[in-house]
């Protein structure tokens, strides 16, 4: 067992063990990948203020996201095709999150279905919803999330159409992979992954296949998105979804203060400042730079969370200090999952928790709930003075 001390260690093992098309799917941004890169690198422009001779005993990272207790202000982000990273991936990740005491968010485009995950967990998880043209299917999906006792609906606002990720096109991304020569050659070296897949029946989009008729190509995220996602989504549709759902609502993909105000106006419980991990609008600002003007625009009207670019506990601490109540990790836990299944997700969470806890102490705090912007040196103009 290798000694794992950071998220990069998990990423290296993940890369070795995972079929190329799924590694590439995870590790891509859209087009030039500028936003994908800057989401992470912009965290490096924020510096901590080290404090000394401060009591560091009895620390806690426990807090709340949308009123729910969390062991640290981190949720697992919805990630499509997680059950292709390793067999039954969503169930494994949900179990790790549950044991750690943080929320797991199941993607609409998951391999394990809502019911599968509910059956294998004991605490409520969150469900991420893409808005579909087919209103009956949409209503059924929301009802299924209610029946599974999901404790928040996370509606993604920035993926009515799909941003282009070159590698997915070149690799012919599909779930399950098609038996092309290139795939067979690559899969031949991934025996661990293959054995896992042979041992599960969950190899297709579990929330879709068997739940809707007439799907053109049920194995292709790109085809399904183009065919079924609703390009006409607007705020009135979101109001309708809120009504149908009737529970805690999180709106994900907000990057501009005007949209944050609209989200507060429709009565969202939280928004996620997110550019979809740099997978949609390439050339958008990083989420961490977009955060401040949004906080200023909405004040306390809606809880503000953030995702995109978070790979460490230091990033979580910086985001929290900047004012985000909660953060989400996507790739950082997928690395762990693809490397070692449930134990790998737990490892990723342990790594991030330790980084968060110890860095918080070095900044002079013992309780995450008391951390504010004063622990940071934020360069002038960090959030920009845009014309």
CB of 130 to ligand GLV, least distance (A): 8
Site string for ligand GLV, 2-41 (x = CB under 6 A): ----------------------------------------
Site string for ligand GLV, 64-83 (x = CB under 6 A): ----------------x---
DSSP string, 198-212: HT-S--S-TTTBTTB
- Using the rule CB under 6 A, is 313 a contact of ligand GLV? no
Q: What is the distance between the alpha carbons of residues 188 and 267, in angstroms, rounded to a whole number? A: 50
Q: What is the distance between the alpha carbons of residues 360 and 368, in angstroms, rounded to a whole number? A: 7
Q: How far is C-alpha 322 from the chain's CA centre? A: 19
Q: Smaller CB distance to ligand GLV: residue 76 or 109?
A: 109
H or E stretch covering 298: helix 287-298
Q: In b/e form, how buried is each residue of 221-257, taking b as 16+ CB within 10 angstroms? A: bbebbeebbbeebeeeebeebbeebebbbbbbbbbeb
Q: Within positions 202 to 241, which residues make up the interface with ligand GLV, using CB under 6 A?
A: none
Residue number of the CB closest to ligand GLV reads 80
Site string for ligand GLV, 139-178 (x = CB under 6 A): --------------------x-------------------
Q: What is the distance between the alpha carbons of residues 328 and 277, in angstroms, rounded to a whole number? A: 10
CB of 374 to ligand GLV, least distance (A): 35
Q: Within positions 242 to 271, which residues make up the interface with ligand GLV, using CB under 6 A?
A: none
* Sole binder of ligand GLV in the list 7, 109, 197, 233 (CB under 6 A): 109
- Using the rule CB under 6 A, is 279 a contact of ligand GLV? yes
**Which are the catalytic amino acids?**
276
- The size of the interface with ligand GLV (CB under 6 A), counted in residues, is 5
CA distances from 237 to 233, 243, 261, 268 (A): 6, 10, 16, 13
- Using the rule CB under 6 A, is 106 a contact of ligand GLV? no
For tokens 């991420």, the residue is 128
The encoded tokens of residue 267 equal 């009565």
Q: Where does this chain bind ligand GLV (CB under 6 A)?
A: 80, 109, 159, 276, 279
């Amino acid at each position: 067992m290798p000694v794992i001390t950071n998220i990069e260690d998990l990423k290296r093992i993940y890369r070795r063990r995972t079929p190329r098309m799924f590694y590439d799917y995870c590790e891509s941004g859209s087009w030039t990948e500028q936003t994908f890169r800057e989401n992470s690198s912009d965290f490096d422009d924020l510096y901590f203020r080290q404090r000394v001779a401060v009591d560091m005993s009895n620390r806690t990272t426990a807090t709340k996201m949308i009123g729910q207790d969390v062991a640290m202000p981190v949720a697992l982000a919805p990630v499509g095709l997680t059950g292709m990273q390793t067999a039954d991936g969503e169930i494994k990740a949900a179990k790790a999150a549950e044991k750690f005491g943080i929320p797991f968010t199941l993607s609409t485009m998951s391999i394990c279905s809502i019911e599968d995950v509910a059956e294998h967990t004991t605490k409520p998880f969150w469900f991420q919803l893409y808005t579909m043209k087919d209103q009956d299917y949409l209503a059924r999906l929301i009802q299924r999330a209610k029946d599974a006792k999901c404790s928040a609906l996370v509606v993604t606002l920035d993926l009515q159409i799909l941003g282009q990720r070159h590698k997915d096109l070149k690799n012919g991304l599909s779930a399950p992979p098609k038996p092309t020569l290139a795939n067979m050659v690559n899969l031949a070296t991934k025996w661990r992954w293959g054995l896992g897949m042979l041992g599960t029946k969950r190899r297709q989009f579990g929330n879709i296949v068997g739940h809707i008729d007439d799907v053109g190509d049920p194995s292709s995220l790109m085809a399904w998105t183009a065919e079924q996602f609703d390009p006409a989504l607007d705020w009135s549709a979101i109001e309708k979804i809120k009504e149908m759902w009737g529970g805690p609502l999180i709106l994900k993909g907000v990057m501009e203060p005007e949209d944050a105000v609209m989200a507060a106006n429709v009565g969202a419980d939280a928004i996620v400042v997110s550019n979809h991990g740099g997978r949609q609008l390439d050339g958008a600002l990083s989420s961490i730079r977009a955060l401040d003007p949004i906080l200023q625009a909405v004040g306390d009207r809606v809880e503000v969370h953030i995702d995109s670019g978070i790979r460490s506990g230091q990033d979580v601490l910086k985001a929290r200090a900047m004012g985000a109540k909660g953060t989400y990790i996507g790739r950082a836990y997928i690395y762990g999952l693809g490397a070692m299944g449930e134990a790998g997700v737990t490892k990723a969470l342990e790594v991030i928790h330790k980084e968060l806890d110890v860095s918080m102490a070095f900044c002079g705090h013992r309780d995450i709930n008391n951390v504010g912007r004063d622990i940071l040196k934020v360069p002038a103009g960090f959030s920009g003075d845009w014309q």
